[in-house]
Amino acid sequence: MAPISVGDVIPDGTLSYFDGENNLQNVSVHSLAAGKKVILFGVPGAFTPTCSLKHVPGFIEKSEELKSKGVDDILLISVNDPFVMREWAKTYPDNKQVKFLADGTAAYTHALGLQLDLSEKGLGTRSRRFALLVDDLKVKVANVESGGEFTISSADEVLKAL
């Protein structure tokens, strides 16, 4: 499948997260994004260096600025189970805006066409690093990284597009 690109409608799919009451929730992506302007960004893995030290903190730090430019929600997706995502989210106590969503089987990542085979590194199927700006389910900006790069999917790059 070709990677999602500008002009495409994002596929629907089910992702998981823990709510504020620590209850496991399954949610459809379309229910999170329909009628809204959202940033959907993906990372190769929870607790990995670039993801944990640069990518996620950038969106947390810039969340108010992104919201001031009309972004309703900031959604982080990783091919990890919801328990890992819950623990990872706890490492950012100042986070109020970024929702940590688990794509445990990589089904949604595959639907986006953004899977990355890291089997040689012992990590199995993961997500390519990306940031999508989505307006009412339609992709307006698709910043998808090549290989292990982190050059175009940062919060700063999304801000430039707003």
Q: Which residues are catalytic?
A: 51
Residues 115/1, Cβ–Cβ less than 8 Å: no
- Continuous H helices in 21-151: 29-33, 49-50, 56-61, 63-68, 82-90, 107-112
Sequence-distant (≥ 6) Cβ neighbours of residue 36 within 8 angstroms = 72, 73, 135, 136
